[in-house]
């Protein structure tokens, strides 16, 4: 392992993997607007629309795992478990530890997040995806604990579609019978004075649209899916106001293949293709809408973003012995309001307020007979009205030549009004509390110092606190080991030291971080919830890229991290024993992603990728392990004309037997097996 680490530590992450030339680093998430990264104490990394098109990801993890410090584990279909400067998290802890945004707006209400929420974004149509590792800036509150993901949709006027009113289409298929099709287009509502001006944004109103359909037969038994997505947008300048509107729609019907069980079961190719829960499913319908209106007043700018969302989800809990049905719904919306004050290059100040009002419900019913403490019949039936109010301020000030201070403070107030619709009693392991109201307050300061001694050298020191109130499932889908109201606000304190810059032709970034998390709760291997937990997260990340001779380039990242428990919890009711200082399960120490590219000319791009997942414990007692894996992929695209591009991807070229996700739960080793060698061919066209 040390030898491999030395090799990979020489691998660098390029700003644009599709080109060895380095562009100016732009960060959007820090201030909800484009900013030069050299002015900020941030470690954000992004994927451009061109890189997303080149990767043509089957799942969100295939794209985002190209970014430093990101190790999302795929389950089945669209399902995944995220890890950003963290172990792989699940349950309410996972849903509440990562803030997922679309154009800066949360795709779910803070208390109603979902483990698999990345599939709900408009990733198929994205112009850019940005990931911030660790707590977000003062502009973001609940759930921006371990990191945040922002999917940016394109501006109609910036879409390179081959003409003023252009369209682009894509179709791709693989050896397992999966097919993905997509069409995007742009229409100007009036003709610009110059037909070539469409390359830049201009005042005439424009409309964009995108539709996408994905059908997968599934390489495991009864594991297919049908997914349809649509995006509609409107961009215009109306007097002194710039207006942007978006509507996103999605439908998912998935057959879910669950864990296979048995020690090293993923090594058995025949067993890996089976599905122990052939009736499992996930059906989701989503609608989101927002309008952003901005106007400048001299050095001041006002930004208003009202938004609405509706989500209806019905799934089988195949990862539990109960295989219960869960139906959850949420509807609501909110408003983001911000005032930007930019009197000079030396000073920038942001004042803002956010509000979110959402009503959600959850119904859980088990049809199977009693399985231990998983009792047949109704488990939960409740409704929750959630109110979130927040205010923040953030300043970026040049205190001296080449020195900047970034300081921010956010206050957030959250209220849950819970209405229990089931009998208030204990059923098996399930506890249904009486009607109640719970309130939570969080204060999250941020402080950063940036030094730019040279034009292409930046050092930063950053302190940030992240916080999240409990998810509604944390508070109201209780077990008999829990007391209603027993969970408080989870907090994480983060300190980071980083450097980015050029060394000759190479671009490098090095970051070291230490984070302490308190008042956390998680589900142990027997499905019981452990509360009042604490953990420590310490790591180093190296990323970068460099051009090589003859059109080659090298890019990638490597991270070493320790994620450990900071409390003792002796075994109770059959649960695991936790010892302070032990590794958290599903927390590999070494992870890397390395890519060797070749672009002999603008019309051709080839890439070889090496994805390494290190060894990790699969249970909290540190007695069960997964040995890790190495998977190699090949990708390529060739532009055969100005309108047609051919694409290819050969995944897992060595046909390695591996586990996308390894776990130990309910007394069994269990795995989501990784897919074997598979070739995808596609074509993109502009017309």
Answer whether 194's CB lies under 8 Å from 204's CB. no
SS3 string, 163-226, reads CCCCEEEEEEEECCCCEEEEEEEEEECCCCCCHHHHHCCCCCCEEEEEEEEEEECCCCCCCCEE
Q: What is the pLDDT of residues 154-187, one digit of tens each?
A: 887 666 665 556 789 999 999 888 999 999 998 8
Q: Decide: helix, strand or coil at residue 45.
A: strand
pLDDT in tens, 57-84: 989 999 999 999 999 998 889 998 899 9
Considering only CA atoms, which of 147, 219, 259, 117 is closest in space to residue 618?
A: 259
Domain that holds residue 151: 2-686
The predicted model gives 127-147 an average pLDDT of 90
Quote the pLDDT of residue 186: 85
How many domains in the chain?
A: 1
According to the model, what pLDDT value does residue 430 have? 93
Angle 28-29-34 from CA coordinates, rounded to 5°? 20
pLDDT of residue 161: 62
**Token digits of residue 472:** 């509604």
Distance CA 637, CA 635 (A): 7
- Whether the pLDDT of residue 197 is over 60: the answer is no
Q: Is the pLDDT of residue 476 over 70?
A: yes
Q: Which residue from 505, 407, 496, 398 is spatially nearest to 456, judged by alpha carbons?
A: 505
Pairing of strands 644-651, 678-686: antiparallel
Which CATH number do you get for residue 609?
2.40.170.20
| Per-residue model confidence as pLDDT tens digits over 232-248 | 999 988 889 999 999 99
Q: Which residues contact 155 (CB under 8 A, 6 or more apart)?
A: 127, 201, 208, 235, 244
Residue 24: its pLDDT value, please? 55
Q: Residue 313: enclosing H or E segment and its boundaries?
A: strand 300-316
Give per-residue pLDDT as tens, 607-627. 999 999 999 999 989 999 999
**pLDDT for residue 399 is more than 60:** yes
Most distant CA pair in the chain, distance: 74
CA 84 to chain centre: 8
User: 236-240: which pairs have CB atoms within 8 A and are 24 or more residues apart?
Assistant: 236/203, 236/204, 236/205, 236/206, 237/203, 240/295, 240/296
Predicted confidence (pLDDT) per residue in 298-315, tens digit? 999 999 999 999 999 999
* pLDDT tier for residue 41 given thresholds of 50, 70 and 90: confident
pLDDT of 156 reads: 75
Nearest by Cα to 498 from 38, 90, 107: 38
| pTM for the full predicted model | 0.92
pLDDT of residue 22: 44
Tens of pLDDT, residue by residue over 509-529, are: 999 999 999 988 777 766 677
Q: What residues are paired with 452 via a beta bridge?
A: none
**Contact partners, residue 197, CB within 8 Å, separation at least 6:** none
DSSP H or E run through 62: helix 60-64
How many Cα atoms are found within 13 Å in the side-chain-facing hemisphere of 8?
A: 27
Q: Give pLDDT, residue 158.
A: 66
């Amino acid at each position: 392992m040390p030898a491999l680490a030395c090799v990979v530590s020489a691998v660098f992450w390029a700003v644009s993997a599709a080109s060895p030339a380095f562009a100016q680093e732009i960060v959007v998430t820090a201030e909800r607007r484009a900013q030069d990264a050299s002015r900020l104490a941030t470690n954000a990394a992004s994927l451009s629309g061109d890189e997303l098109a080149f990767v043509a990801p089957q799942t969100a993890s295939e794209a985002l795992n190209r970014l430093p410090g990101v190790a999302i584990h795929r389950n089945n279909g669209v399902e995944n478990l995220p890890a950003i400067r963290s172990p792989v998290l699940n349950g309410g802890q996972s849903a509440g530890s990562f803030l997922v945004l679309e154009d800066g707006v949360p795709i779910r209400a803070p208390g109603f997040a979902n483990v698999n929420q990345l599939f709900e974004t408009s990733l198929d149509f994205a112009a850019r995806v940005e990931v911030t590792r660790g707590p977000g800036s003062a502009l973001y509150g609940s759930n921006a604990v371990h990191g945040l993901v922002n999917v940016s949709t394109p501006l109609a006027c910036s879409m390179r579609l081959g003409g003023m009113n252009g369209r682009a289409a894509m179709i791709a298929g693989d050896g397992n019978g999966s097919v993905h099709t997509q069409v995007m287009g742009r229409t100007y509502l009036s003709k610009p004075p110059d037909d070539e001006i469409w390359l830049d944004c201009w005042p005439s109103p424009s409309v964009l649209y995108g539709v996408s359909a994905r059908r997968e037969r599934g390489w495991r038994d009864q594991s297919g899916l049908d997914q349809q997505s649509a995006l509609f947008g409107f961009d215009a300048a109306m007097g002194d106001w710039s207006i942007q509107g978006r509507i996103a729609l999605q439908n998912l019907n998935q057959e879910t293949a669950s864990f296979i069980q048995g020690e090293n079961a993923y090594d058995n190719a025949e067993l890996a293709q089976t599905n122990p829960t052939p009736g499992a499913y996930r059906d989701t319908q989503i609608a989101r809408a927002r309008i952003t209106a901005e106007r400048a007043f001299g050095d001041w700018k006002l930004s208003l973003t009202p938004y609405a969302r509706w989500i209806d989800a019905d799934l089988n809990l195949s990862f539990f012995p109960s295989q219960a049905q869960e139906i959850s719904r949420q509807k609501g919306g909110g408003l983001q309001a911000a005032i930007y004050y930019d009197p000079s290059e030396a000073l920038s100040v942001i004042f803002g307020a956010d509000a979110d009002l959402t009503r959600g419900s959850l119904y859980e019913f088990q049809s199977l007979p009693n399985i231990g403490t998983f009792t047949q019949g109704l488990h939960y039936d409740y409704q929750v009205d959630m109110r979130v109010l927040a205010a923040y301020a953030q300043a970026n000030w040049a205190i001296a030549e080449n020195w900047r201070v970034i300081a921010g403070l956010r206050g957030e107030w959250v209220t849950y009004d819970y209405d229990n619709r089931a009998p208030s009693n204990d059923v098996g392991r399930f506890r249904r509390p009486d009607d109640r109201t719970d309130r939570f307050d969080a204060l999250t300061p941020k402080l950063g110092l940036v030094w730019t001694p040279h034009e292409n050298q930046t050092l930063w020191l950053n302190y940030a606190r992240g916080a999240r109130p409990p998810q509604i499932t944390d508070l109201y889908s209780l077990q008999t080991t829990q007391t209603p109201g027993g969970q408080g606000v989870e907090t994480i304190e983060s300190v980071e030291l980083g450097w980015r810059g050029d060394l000759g032709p190479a671009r490098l970034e090095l970051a070291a971080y230490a984070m302490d998390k308190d008042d956390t709760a998680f589900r142990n291997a027997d499905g019981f919830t452990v509360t009042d937990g604490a953990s420590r997260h310490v790591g180093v990340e190296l990323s970068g890229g460099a051009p090589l001779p003859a059109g080659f380039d090298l890019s990638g990242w490597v991270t070493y991290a320790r994620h450990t428990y900071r409390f003792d919890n002796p075994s109770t009711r059959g649960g695991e024993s936790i010892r302070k200082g032990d590794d958290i399960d599903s927390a590999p120490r070494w992870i890397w992603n390395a890519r060797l590219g070749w672009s002999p000319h603008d019309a051709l791009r080839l890439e070889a990728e090496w994805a390494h997942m290190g060894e990790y414990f699969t249970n909290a007692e540190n007695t069960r392990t997964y040995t890790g894996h190495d998977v190699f992929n090949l990708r390529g695209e060739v532009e055969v004309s100005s309108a047609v591009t051919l694409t290819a991807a050969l995944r897992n070229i060595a046909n390695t037997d591996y586990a996308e996700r390894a776990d130990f739960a309910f007394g069994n080793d269990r795995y989501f097996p990784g897919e074997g060698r598979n070739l995808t061919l596609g074509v993109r066209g502009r017309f």
